[in-house]
Amino acid sequence: QKEVEQNSGPLSVPEGAIASLNCTYSDRVSQSFFWYRQYSGKSPELIMSIYSNGDKEDGRFTAQLNKASQYVSLLIRDSQPSDSATYLCAVKVGNQFYFGKGTSLTVFP
């Protein structure tokens, strides 16, 4: 059974702060990792992908991967109210995706 675990939150941070979202996974052969953002009533949209250990930065977003610890995280710098959404962690094994249940983030002004 492949599992992807996320803190359900809700996570609440003030505008301008760093939001930290965490995800752990059970399958050691996982090679591809993704973060999706889902606004209420909308479908998930990809915001970050990461394949190698270490950090990957894209604008205000940084994904961090540690395969030894089976841990992937997403940092959002200078959080904005528009970042308020549910963030889904996904792990790909072969061609199959395994999603966490998501972490709800609220950024308050």
Shortest reach from residue 43's CB to another protein, in Å: 4
Lookup: tokens for 106: 């609220």
Binding status of residue 18 toward another protein by CB under 8 A:
no
Please identify, among the stretches 16-24, 57-65, 69-77, 99-107, the one whose residues bind another protein according to the rule CB under 8 A: 99-107
Among 20, 22, 49, 70, the residue binding another protein under the rule CB under 8 A is 49
Residues 6+ apart with CB under 8 A from 25: 2, 3, 4, 5, 33, 70, 72, 89, 91, 98
Neighbours of 109 (CB within 10 A): 7
Give the whole-angstrom CA distance, residue 84 versus residue 35. Answer: 14
When asked if residue 32 is in the footprint of another protein (CB under 8 A), the reply is yes
Residue with tokens 């790909």: 92
The minimum distance between CB 59 and another protein, in angstroms, equals: 17
Contact footprint for another protein (CB under 8 A): 31-32, 34, 42-46, 49, 51, 88, 90, 92, 94-102
